[in-house]
A = this chain, B = another copy of it.
């Protein structure tokens, strides 16, 4: 649980970004806040992220106490990731980032991938 948070930060915002920052974590959290997800589901929902990154960020989020990893052994291995209480506590922050992101995406002319592909086994 130590991770690298045991430093001195210039301000609380810097700390928040240390946890949420980087290229992928907030994207993953944005998905996980919709509900628990398996490894493969996350991979499908964030296709541009390499598996290495996916695993690394999952471990990091777990270490920081934002997500919980539950495995269910069996023929087909399963690993389910859910937000912890602390992860849940980030909701308003993520929402604020989301709202502001939408706003300036328009202003700046940035493109956003796809709002929420939702899950579908077969298109038909």
Contact = CB atoms under 8 A, between A and B. Distances in A.
Interface in A8-60: 8-17, 19-21, 23, 26-27, 30, 46, 48
Looking at chain A's contact residues, is the secondary structure mostly helix, strand, loop, or mixed?
A: helix
A10 B107 contact: no
Contacts of A8: 110-113
Question: Copies per complex?
Answer: 2
A124 interface: no
Contacts of A101: 9, 11-16
Given A89-B100, A105-B15, A10 B110 contact: no
A104 B108 CA distance: 32
Interface residues of A, number: 49
Contacts of A48: 10
Contacts of A16: 97-98, 100-101, 104
B12 A27 contact: no
